[in-house]
Structure 1
Amino acid sequence: MTQVKQMTDRFSSTVNRLGLDLTILAPLIALVVLLIASSLASEYFLNTRNLTNVMRQVSYTGIIAIGVTFVIIGGGIDLSVGSMVALVGVLLLYALNAVTDPVMAIVVGILVALGSGALFGVFNGLLVTRGKITAFIATLATMSIFRSVALYLTDAGEVVSRNPLFPDLGGGYWLGVPIPVWAFLILAVGAHILLFYTRFGRHLCAVGANAQVARYSGIRVRSVILGSFTIAGACVGLSAIMLSSRLNSISPSDAGVLYELDAIAAVVIGGTALSGGKGSIWGTVIGALILGIINNMLNLLGVSPYLQGLVKGSVIIIAVLVQYKRQQ
Structure 2
Amino acid sequence: MVGVGYTLMCEQTGPKELVEQAVRAEQAGFDYLVISDHYYPWLDAQGHSPYAWSVLGAVAHATSRIKLMTYITCPIRRYHPAVVAQKAATIGVLSDGRFTLSLGAGENLNEHVVGAWPHVHQRHEMLEEALQIIRPLLDGDNLSYSGNHFEVPEAYLWDRPETPVPIAVAASGPHSVALVTEYADALVCDNPDAAVVRMYDEAGGTGKPRYGQAAICYGPDEDACRKTVHDQWRWAALNWTVKAELPGPESFVSASDHIRPEDIAQLVPCGPDLEAHVSAFQKYVDAGFTDVAFVQVGVEGQPMFLDWAQDELLPRLREL
Q: Which of the five TM-score ranges fits, normalised by the shorter chain?
A: under 0.3
TM-score normalised according to structure 1 size: 0.25
The structure in which a higher percent of residues are strand is: 2
Could you say which structure has the larger radius of gyration? 1
TM-score normalised according to structure 2 size: 0.26
The structure in which a higher percent of residues are helix is: 1
Indicate the structure whose relative CO is greater, using CA pairs within 8 Å and at least 6 residues apart: 1
